[in-house]
Structure 1
Amino acid sequence: AFGAAWAAACKVEASTMIVPSGYVFLLHSVSFSGSGCEADIVFQLDGKIIAPTTPGAWKSGLLQWIEFTKLNGITIQGKGIIDGQGSVWWNNLPTYNPEDSEGVMNAKMPGTKPTALRFYGSTRVIVTGITIQNSPQTHLKFDDCTTVQVSDFKAASPENSPNTDGIHLENSHDVLIYSSDLACGDDCVSIQTGCSQVYIHNVNCGPGHGISIGGLGRDNSKACVSNVTVRDVAMLNTLTGVRIKTWQGGSGSVQGVTFSNIQVSGVKTPIMIDQFYCDRSKCQNESSAVAVSDINYINIKGTYASKPVHLACSDDLPCTGISFSAIELNPVQEDSQPFCWNTFGELRSTTVPPINCLKMGKSRKPVVNC
């Protein structure tokens, strides 16, 4: 039914495909392709869409559940819900539904967990009003998209659900995210390589891992991120607040980033740059790194649970142009001092606690541009 409705909507410019309220639809993995489509299609989501929970529905593993590709003007709007029913994936429990002909007794879900909703290769993308909950992995993902707007969006998964980013951006430009509530088990927003002109404001984040740029440079890759603004964000009980994370051995740069008006409450580490990021037991030491420069922290206030500021920059390529203004971070319990390693910048006002470990001025190493 979804496929036929999409095919019909595609033929007419500015048409609307409606998922009606009051109904629940079980939807298997689907790709809504823009091939041959007219522009400015509206997907009106007022009902509820749920994912299958039996292993047979996912074959050997799929990267996404619902996908929109190569569209010029696509809007997903409404008050409806997309429910990935992710607990069967997170807990890796055997599942069996006697009504499912594909179900196998004691079978487990595939190792590859799907993103709930992905947009690829599209321009003028709007997502507004909807809720995505309990995604097996990332809730909402944009790959290779331009002119993206997300508003009044809600991502909701438990704190202990693994790898469930709220919004994931990659190779996407001119992105606006605002007036949204993001609660998940990983980054509220994850900004990956190839992103520029990203503007995030008036977002609530938590639980989750905060708003992150990276990890960048994995497997000696080149990564480029520039012109990112994050402001007027409230973080509650998150792992980090605003974070830049890069792998050793990468190349490229992160530059032109401003984090301002960030309110943190019980956040483990509110301000973090980690150029030694590693998500496994051990990573090899390497000299090359993604360059980090021109990063501004303004009016970040509230409470921390572990360390207020952690700036661990590359041994061979220092962070430079890191500035702080109106920072006021107080401990929930035990006091802790900021940590800096090979970090150059300036204090534009008194900070609480004092960030005395920052090296004043600029690094002698030339700034790297992508």
Structure 2
Amino acid sequence: MRGFSFKYKTFVILIAGLLWLSTSAVCNAATTGKYWRHTHKSKPRQRLKVNVLGYGAKGDGESDDTKAFQAAWGDACKSEASMMIVPLGYKFLVGPTSFSGSNCHKNITFKLDGTILAPTNSKAWGAGVDQWLEFTNLVGFKIKGKGTLDGRGSVWWTDSFRDFKQVSGPMDGKKQRSRPTALMIVGGAKMTVTGITIQNSPQFHLTFDNCDGVLVHHISISSPGDSPNTDGIHLRNTKNVIIHHTNLACGDDCISIQTGCTNVLIHDVHCGPGHGISIGSLGIDGTTGCVSNITVRNIKLHNTMTGVRIKTWQGAKGMVRGVSFSNIEVSKVEVPIMINQYYCDHSFCENRSAAVSIANISYENIKGSYTVQPLHLSCSDSKPCMNLNLSDIELKPKPNGHQMAEPFCWQAFGELNAPIIPEIDCLQEEHTSKRWGHHDAKCAA
């Protein structure tokens, strides 16, 4: 009995000790979390990858792959952080398509490594289409890769293809067709476009409309310098934007900043050919144009019509505030610095007294060569340009067959800080503008 009792007691003590150690480990795990992370570590969720080839796309450059792209997009939308793949080595012919994000999950990636071709047959475009590829209402959407969007826009630029410019209308039989934008992103948040090439768009190459949070970097945009209205990047009603390390060559503004844009940073961008980097045009047909907090720095412009420009229509309302242009290198630019409050691209425009208010604009370290005029500040009689600050300006003439002109200022007020080359004696000192009073333009926050 004693032996049995001793063995039994030893066994009980051993079991109790093991239970205590187990309980201690569990309690410790509950306190630190390390135990559960180790023993219950879940596998990372795999990203859904959707390849357009798996949906019937041929990629031979001739077959219509539009439906395959739409089907692939439909599946990609069903999963968060999914990826739609357009593979390398293929050319996909895709007609005008809207990729809606209304029912999509967040953080979808459109991986473009191949080439997407726009149709050159006018019937593929239908009537009233103003974009080729459109992405709407997406959050965390990203377009990336080393592929190309080729708008094949030359058929839209020439008069020889009249069927592209006109479609049947119910009243007069014919009406003017608007040329489409290559890539339009509408109503998005936290958008990224990187790595890709967009070329030969019928009209604008890349447009952001009503977006909040845009990042564009290391992309290339290319079309001939004489291609009409082929803006590189077009911003409208969009805020919190960064564009950097991008090459832009087109037939209009390399970057155009329209009404409703605020908090925009553009840096390390090469522009040319083209019309430069522009705010506007703003306020057409008496509308309100509002742009604020724009920074443009470390820019190279070559063989462009203007360098950095603000353009507004007469009769408009609104204001442009808090704009900084700095470290701008110009080469063979017709007019490197321009403000034009009398902008008009019609054959005739009436004179009107109302104007978009322009104030607090700085130009710093702008250097290089011009071929027509170094500076042109044409401001409104009713609302002169206020608080213009120019410093470290060195612009030298480089005749290129144009008639050269001296710096021009009209109703422009501000100050100059040396060095200033050439001499700019037309800018009026700020204190002489007090008779104009403070601008009363108001814009929504």
Counterpart residue type for residue 341 of structure 1: W
Pick one of 108, 112, 120 that aligns with 1:53. 120
Q: Helix, strand or coil: the match of 2:343?
A: coil
Q: Helix, strand or coil: the match of 1:2?
A: helix
Structure number, greater radius of gyration: 2
Q: Are 2:438 and 1:366 aligned? A: yes
Q: In 2, Cα distance between the equivalents of 1:125 and 1:66?
A: 15
Q: Are 2:216 and 1:146 aligned? A: no
Counterpart residue type for residue 428 of structure 2: K
Q: Helix, strand or coil: the match of 2:230?
A: coil
Give the deviation of 1:62 after TM superposition.
Answer: 1.1
Closer, same or farther in 2 for the Cα pair 1:109/1:126, shift >3 Å? farther
| CA deviations over 1:267-294 (Å, ceiling 9, x no partner) | 0000000000000111010000000000
| CA deviations over 1:45-103 (Å, ceiling 9, x no partner) | 0000000011111112411010000001100000000000000000132389xxxxxxx
The answer for unaligned runs of 5 or more in structure 1 is: 97-107
Q: Are 2:302 and 1:233 aligned? A: no
Q: Which residue of 2 aligns with 1:126?
A: 192
Q: TM-score, normalised by structure 1?
A: 0.95
Q: Contact between 1:120 and 1:143, CA under 8 Å: does it hold in 2?
A: yes
Q: Are 2:239 and 1:173 aligned? A: yes
Q: Contact between 1:201 and 1:231, CA under 8 Å: does it hold in 2?
A: yes
Q: In 1, Cα distance between the equivalents of 2:280 and 2:243?
A: 17
Q: Helix, strand or coil: the match of 1:349?
A: strand
Q: In 1, Cα distance between the equivalents of 2:119 and 2:360?
A: 46
Q: Contact between 1:175 and 1:197, CA under 8 Å: does it hold in 2?
A: yes
Q: Which residue of 2 aligns with 1:352?
A: 421
Q: Contact between 1:300 and 1:329, CA under 8 Å: does it hold in 2?
A: yes
Pick one of 287, 292, 302 that aligns with 2:368. 302
Please state which structure has a larger fraction of its residues in helix.
2
Q: Which residue of 2 aligns with 1:250?
A: 316
Percent of counterpart pairs with the same letter? 56
Give the deviation of 1:109 after TM superposition.
Answer: 11
Q: In 2, Cα distance between the equivalents of 1:60 and 1:145?
A: 26
Give the deviation of 1:183 after TM superposition.
Answer: 0.0
Q: Which residue of 1 aligns with 2:26?
A: none
Q: In 1, Cα distance between the equivalents of 2:177 and 2:81?
A: 39
Q: TM-score, normalised by structure 2?
A: 0.79
Q: Helix, strand or coil: the match of 1:168?
A: strand
Aligned length: 359
Q: Helix, strand or coil: the match of 1:7?
A: helix
Q: In 2, Cα distance between the equivalents of 1:289 and 1:345?
A: 19
Q: Which residue of 1 aligns with 2:145?
A: 78
Select between 52-61 and 315-324 the one with higher mean Cα deviation.
52-61
| CA deviations over 1:341-369 (Å, ceiling 9, x no partner) | 00000112230011110001153221334
| CA deviations over 1:150-185 (Å, ceiling 9, x no partner) | 000111000010000000000000000000000000
Please state which structure has a larger fraction of its residues in strand.
1
Q: In 1, Cα distance between the equivalents of 2:204 and 2:357?
A: 27
Q: Helix, strand or coil: the match of 2:251?
A: coil
Closer, same or farther in 2 for the Cα pair 1:66/1:109, shift >3 Å? farther
1:1-370 mapped onto 2 (5 Å cutoff): 1-94=68-161, 111-333=177-399, 336-362=405-431, 363-364=433-434, 365-367=437-439, 368-370=441-443
The answer for unaligned runs of 5 or more in structure 2 is: 1-67, 164-173
Select between 268-277 and 346-355 the one with higher mean Cα deviation.
346-355
